[in-house]
Structure formats: C-alpha cells, structure tokens
Homo-oligomer: A and B are copies of this chain.
C-alpha cells in the first residue's frame, strides 16, 4: 500500500514525549529497561542498553538507560539484555485452518480436491472461532502482534482476535460458489457488509473484504467488491498470481495477466494487500507499485506447495511494500513468523545462487515495518518509535542456540525460533509474559480443538 511516512508527525510526538523538566518524572504504565533494542526505525537504530516507555496503548519513550530515570512507571520489566523489537506483522493467513493442520500434506491439487470439499463438509462458525483462537494463540506466542486473515465467518475470527488480544486485519471471503457461511455464490459480500458494520472503529480489529482470487470469481463480482471497498473505505485482501494455472486461465479468458486483470476491474489500489504474487513480471511489478498495492510474501507456503519463489528482490528494488506471511496452517504448517525469517533469507539466496542477497536486516524489515507498510499501518505499528502503538516483543537471547550473538539481525533470522519469544505486548497490554499466555485458557482450548478433530478426520478420510 501507499507509504504514508509520518516522520514529521512522529518527531513532534517525540518532542512532546520528552515531557516535563528534569526532576519531575513523567508517568508511564510500563517501562522496559536493560533491553537490546532493535528499533526498525528510519535509521535502523540498535540501542544496546535500551529503554522503552509505554503509556496506555502508545510508546512514549525510546532511548538509552538515561531514559529510565525520566519516567515513574507502574510496572518495570527488566529485559536482562534480551532483544526488544517491534511485534511482527503476519500479512497473510487463514488462522482458523489450524484445525486442519497436517491433513492431506504432500497431496497434489489439494485446494480443489481436498480443502474446498473438506471446508464444505465441516466448517461452521464454532470451528472457525476455535480454530482462530488456536491460530491467534500460536501467532502471538511466536511474536506476531498483527495478523491479516482471509476466511469464512470472519466475525468469529474477530472475536477470537479480541479474546487473545492481538491486532488483526480480517477479510471476509467472497467466492463464486456456495461457502460455509453463504448458501449462494458471492454471499460473502453481504456477510462482509454486516461484519464490517459490526467491527467498525474497533481498537484491534480492522474489518476488510477478501475476494478469494481472480480465478474463483467472475468479473462482475470483482468489480462489485472494488466498488464496495471504496464505499465502505476498508482494506481488500486477495490471492494473486499464485499458480501457473491461474496465469493461464486469466490469459485465456481475458488476455491479461492476473495483475492487469485486477487493475481492469478496479481492485488495484493502496487498499489492496495481494498475497503470493509469485508469477509476476516487471510490468506487473511496476503496475502494483504505481497503484500502491501491498504484497504479502509467503515463502514457506509457496515452496511447500512446489510453486516457486516470488521475485521479491525485484519488487523491493522497484519500491513495492512487501511484508511476510505464513499463509494458513494447512500450507505452512505453522504460523511461525520467526521460522519464516530464515526461510525468506535463504530461499532468495538459492533463487539467485548468491549468498549475499536478501541480507538478514532486510528480512527483519519485511517482518515488521515492511509488513506495516504493506497493510498501510506504518503510521501506527511496525517499529519502536515514540507515538506508535505499543506492539512489541522481548526475545530471549540466552538459549543455547542463540549464543553467541554477534549481530542482532543474523541472530533473529538465522538462529531464533518461535520459542525464543519471551514476552509480547499488544496495544500496550501484556498478552504473553515469560512465554505464558495471559488472556486465554490454553489447556481448555486445546481440549476443545481435539474434540473437533475426530469428526474432521472421519470427513477427511472420505475425500
């Protein structure tokens, strides 16, 4: 999406945050001290003995150890030298599909032969809620503080995100055949209107429209979705240029690339987040950039499906905003953003046969501020900067596999795992403290999900 860089505005807030004169400490709800800050700000500042101050939902101070004395805090967390970084943005997933994790792996043509029939047979609002709860729990434990989701019954996903306390951009799926939450083709559009009205203005949830893909909808309904997005002023999420079959079908039917086709129906704009974009050429990339489209790069899903490596180096060189996504847990199979960092770095080195491309810092950038830019939220999240929402992580660097640490980006990309995320703060609230989730009863959730799986396994065995 279009980068609305608010450096000027942030500087004003930073000056304001200096607050009263020395000697009168300013109130903070939370102070994190002794952190190794990976700010991901405009200068990629790394502050070895750093302090972050939080008041309400916002970051009000980012600096060195001297900053700690300027605040009188309700609570202080000693990070003990651990990394403090912005919460990660998972720019594409289907969180509810955790309930199908590991079903039908290694099976060809899985979407049409397996996933769609399975969803038609078993998915209801209860499945979606419980699956999304499990997915949101996994994501926040692993350091994603914002996720972008496309599925059915997206209001149930919204309730799950709220319950877990994680930020989310949630797109109700619109598709050209009957769906679990719509008896008629394209019924998702009406569902979406109700969902968007219900969650308008929510502090954590941004409701959105999710036209499934250019190849599962007709032109008329793609145009209707584009018009509805403008009317409702909401983000739009889509799968785009994901398979060779899609490229061939859209070329055959419309004489255009999928990117050109979405432009023709009016969907390419700065509200669009396009997942995958594996099969795009230089003209497609330029068109995406001109229209301000954000791209979600899903390397683990794309390689597990044997699809290919999206030309992200070219996209970044052209100035496109690219974030990272896990895709759903039938594709991934986890929602592990930390693991995704390593895959992203390595797969582009392989694709170029050059170990120096896609260096670690670029990957951390895509997982944080880059993802925020892709979903047009870089004025609020994605970096440790005064004035931004307090979505941040403390990452343990004391585990055996993290020692020694010569470079923070290398440690995050090539060594860290989801289990190294120690503490997670979203919207100024502690959601995970020392690896313990504070918001949802995880044991009960696991039991609930296991109850669903017997029936799912029975249905899957028939496919």
Q: Contacts A304-B414, A346-B300 known; A108 to B356 CB distance under 8 Å?
A: yes
A228 interfacial contact with B, CB 8 Å: no
**Taking CB as reference atom, which chain B residue is nearest A447?**
B403
CB-contact partner of A356 in B103, B107, B359, under 8 A: B107
Closest beta carbon of chain B to A245's beta carbon, Å: 12
Q: Which stretch in A20-28, A201-209, A283-291, A449-457 binds the other chain?
A: A449-457
A352 sits at the interface (CB 8 A): yes
Q: Given A305-B355, A350-B306, check contact A415 B102 (CB 8 Å).
A: yes
Residues of B contacting A99 in the complex (Cβ-Cβ under 8 angstroms)? 404
> CB-nearest residue of chain B relative to A345?
B304
Q: Is A47 an interface residue (CB 8 A)?
A: no
Cβ–Cβ contact A303 & B406, under 8 A: no
Q: How far is the CB of A317 from chain B (nearest CB, A)?
A: 17
* Interface 1/0 per residue, A326-367 and B, CB below 8 Å: 000000111110010011011101101111111110000000
Q: Is the interface of A mostly helix, strand, loop or mixed?
A: helix
Tell me whether B355 and A108 are in contact (CB under 8 A). Answer: yes
Inter-chain CA distance A241–B443, complex, in Å, is: 50
Is A418 part of the binding interface, using a Cβ–Cβ cutoff of 8 Å? yes
State in angstroms the CA–CA spacing of A8 and B125 once bound together: 55
Q: Name A450's contact: one of B308, B349, B401, B404 (CB within 8 Å).
A: B404
A450 and B403 CA atoms in complex are apart in Å by 8
The range of chain A's interface size is 35 or more
Q: Is residue A264 within 8 Å, beta carbon to beta carbon, of the partner chain?
A: no
Instruction: Enumerate chain B residues within 8 angstroms of A403, measured Cβ to Cβ.
Output: 98, 101, 134, 446, 449-450
Q: A137-B400, A305-B349, A346-B300 are in contact. Are A102 and B405 (CB under 8 A)?
A: yes
* A-B pairs with beta carbons under 8 Å apart, 27 shown: A102-B404, A102-B406, A102-B410, A103-B406, A105-B360, A106-B355, A106-B356, A106-B360, A106-B410, A108-B354, A134-B400, A303-B347, A304-B414, A305-B355, A306-B352, A306-B353, A306-B354, A306-B355, A306-B356, A306-B357, A308-B353, A333-B410, A333-B415, A400-B446, A404-B452, A406-B453, A417-B418
Interface, chain A (partner B; CB < 8 A): 98-99, 101-103, 105-108, 110, 134, 137-138, 141-142, 300, 302-309, 332-336, 339, 342-343, 345-347, 349-350, 352-360, 398, 400-401, 403-407, 410-411, 414-415, 417-419, 442, 446, 449-450, 452-453, 456-457, 460
